[in-house]
A and B are shown apart, each in its own frame.
Chain A
Amino acid sequence: MREQQLQTILRHMPAGIATLLGPELRFGFVNEAMQSLLGGDTPEGQPLADHLGVLAADLLEVMQQVYSSGRPYVAKAYALPVAGSDPTSRRYLDVALEPLQDDEGQPQGLLLFAVDVTGQEEARQRAHELALETRRLDARLRVLTETAPQITFSIDAAGQFEYVSPQWYYFTGQPPTADVNAIWPLLIHPDDRLRVLYQSDMARSSGIGWNFEYRLRRHDGQYRWVLSRALPEHHAPDKPVFWHGAVTEVHDQRELAEALRQGEAELRFLADSIPQLIWTASAEGFIDYYNQHTAQYTGLSTQELGPTGWVNLLDPSEQAGAARRWVQCVASGEDYEGLYRMRRHDGQYRWHIIRARQLADARGPRWFGACTDVDDQHRLREVLQTQYDELARTNRDLDTFVYTASHDLKQPLFNLRGLFEELRSSATFHDPEQATLLEMVDDALLQLDGTLQELAATVQDQRELAAPTEELDLQSVAQEVLLGLRAQVEEAQATIDLDVAAAPTLVYGRANLRSVLHNLLSNALKFAHPDRPAHITISSSLSESGQPRLTVQDNGLGMTLVGSAGPSFLLFDRQHPGVAGAGVGLYLVQRIIDSRGGHLEVGSTVDQGTTFTVYWFE
């Protein structure tokens, strides 16, 4: 009954139990669990070797050795193919082999005890794989942390370093035996040390990460700017245990940024100190900075001017063109340049040269512009232009005077020589002394002629002789001139009518007026018609515009006028080769009148006569 009970218990045990009897290891008792493990083929009394089933031969050998040696053995995690299923699926068993002996200690058989440890074994194998993977990751992490160009570290809640990557030693030049906890704070720049210690302490006590920059002493004694960043690792919520972080050298970036900041500040200072309008614009063409002087000049803030408001400052007629040009320059990158009137805060427009150029700096392309006030130069140029014009006219006046004077003096000399010839032919001289005298007079006259020739050159230097204007009485000046032309008047048997009642006076240079009258009259006399006595009419009147004008009309040879070319002092010469010397005279007249801002008109009919009209002023 007890045996029966025991058999039942053993049969249903969740572990495999079997007995193998005799040296042939014949199946004895095999419980259900063992039967299913072995695949059910366990006929009682048959040797195991004939019914190995899923068991491998090596296990059989071990069993035989246990049988003969009498020493128990446990095969741990013995892999057994699962009977009757996928040949790759395995079951793991701890198989205890216990020798059975009789009372004399003679071997009788084996007790087989198999416990399924598949679950444990699989877990163990997984753990092993995980450990391998972890080692691999760990190795990778180590390579990364130890080759990345930064110091990595782990620090605990008390502020003690758990780990510092080798870069710390390279950077600081400290020996591998150095006490990081003691030395690291000493390597922080004295000016930064307190701040750094305080900030990291504060972060640790508040359980948060940190991010700050400080100077750390390098192996060569130089302090370099570094960026320290760390994040907490929480094991329980709100209770960080470690901080992991990295220290990266940012010295060069910082110096660059600092240099940029400083450069920009210096440039701004410069720009703000210059009495010029200075500005910058984005690559898209929007103005983003105006210097202080711009605000002073325009009376408008950068805000009020806005990104494109500068165009409002230009003279309205120039705005559209300037805007169009700017849009084009922004598109093409060409330099912008123009001369514009720009409104000052008081409403006055002043001339400016606006110049802008696209340059690329660290932030990409930008526009740099300047507006230079050139108003004073502009005005100065206008004044200079006026003065220049005046000087040029004065010069012409002088020039004219030279011609006029030499020309005018020629006539009296001509008269004098005529008189002298007359005297010589009509009078008789007996005294040989007197003949010498005559020669001397002749010489003197010749000398005077030469002197006159040189006068042109001489007078050119005497600028004080430039003709000043005065109010002149036309009647008396004309009579003076006619007096000088008495000989020619007689020769041409001329009648002269002088009528200046309509405009009796003229404000002009005296010498100039004489020269004009002299030339026009001598011209009229010179070209008198051989078939009739000359008749010359001189009249002064007012033009339609109320300006004085002078008309000299004759009944002489006349000439053909070519087109509307107006008076040409060469015409007489060409058309009347028999009469000499009109060209220069008329040339002078024209120059005198031009230089005073008037003009000369001529009307003429061949064989009937010529009329010159002098419009003194336009």
Chain B
Amino acid sequence: MYPKRAGRGACYQMNHIVYMSRAVRPLSDYDLQDLLAQCRRDNSLHQVTGVLFYSHGSIAQLIEGDPAVIEPLYDKISRDGRHSNVMQLVNKPIAARSFPDWSMAFHPLEAKGFATLEGFFMPSHLPPTPDTLSIADAMLIDLVRQAVFGADEPAAANLTA
């Protein structure tokens, strides 16, 4: 659907994919921590960045990177037995990355020990939606975030820009 990379070398395209899904059964702190560790390792290996939101079985994720990498990754993730009802919201080219690495935000049952975990955020401490995103994409992330965490978590600040 979208133009593929021109070739190996200088010009290389970047896409982002956003989806929402439901966990098949609630993910425990341990499950989430495990996922965080695995994703941080594998994603940095493939220059994939993004963010994952989790709360009460609701999942939303944004991944950004080379479409040749993230499209197969998305296929793999969507077949992962830990969640179902995977609904892709967008897959489109972007000018630049909006997330510096790969992170996750959720409410751990046992908050102790998570504070220092790399790539982890309490939902209330999530940085505002990056303003490198277009207004349409920022709105998408804000809606996704609101859908996962509810309207009470502070909404993004960049839309006021």
State the A residues within 8 Å of B (CB). Answer: 284-286, 306-312, 319-320, 323-324, 326-327, 330-332
Contact = CB atoms under 8 A, between A and B. Distances in A.
A326 B146 CA distance: 12
Nearest to B138: A323
Interface string B120-139: 00000000000000111111
B95 interface: no
B161 interface: yes
A327 B149 CA distance: 14
A307 B155 CA distance: 19
Contact of A330 (B20, B143, B160, B161): B143
Contacts of A319: 135
A320 B155 CA distance: 14
Contact of B159 (A306, A327, A330, A331): A327
A327 B139 contact: yes
B129 to A, nearest CB: 10
A308 B136 contact: yes
B51 interface: no
B136 A306 contact: yes
6 contacts: A284-B143, A311-B139, A320-B160, A323-B138, A327-B142, A327-B159
A309 B135 CA distance: 9
B89 A307 contact: yes
Contacts of B161: 320
Nearest to B161: A320
Nearest to B146: A331
A557 B140 CA distance: 75
Nearest to A310: B136
B92 A306 contact: yes
Contacts of A323: 135-136, 138-139, 142, 159
A286 B143 contact: yes
Given A284-B147, A286-B89, A331-B151, A320 B136 contact: no
A331 B148 CA distance: 12
A324 B134 contact: no
B144 interface: yes
A307 B135 CA distance: 12
Contact of B135 (A285, A306, A312): A312
Which of B20, B140, B160 has the most chain A CB within a 10 Å cutoff?
B140
B68 interface: no
B151 to A, nearest CB: 3
B160 A307 contact: no
B36 to A, nearest CB: 24
Given A306-B92, A327-B155, A331-B151, A320 B135 contact: yes
A311 B136 CA distance: 6
Interface in B96-146: 134-140, 142-144, 146
B89 A330 contact: no
A327 B143 contact: yes
B147 A309 contact: no
Contacts of B142: 323, 327
B77 interface: no
Which of B20, B135, B146 has the most chain A CB within a 10 Å cutoff?
B135
A506 B125 CA distance: 72
B90 interface: yes
Nearest to A281: B143
Nearest to A320: B159
Contacts of A285: 143, 146-147
Given A326-B139, A330-B143, 10 more contacts: A284-B144, A285-B147, A306-B136, A308-B137, A311-B135, A319-B135, A320-B159, A323-B159, A327-B139, A330-B146
Contacts of A307: 89-90, 140
10 closest A-B pairs by beta carbon, nearest first, are: A331-B151, A284-B147, A323-B139, A308-B140, A285-B143, A324-B159, A308-B136, A319-B135, A308-B139, A327-B142
A306 B151 contact: no
A93 B139 CA distance: 88
Nearest to A316: B135
Nearest to B155: A327
A285 B92 CA distance: 19
B154 to A, nearest CB: 12
Contacts of B89: 286, 306-307
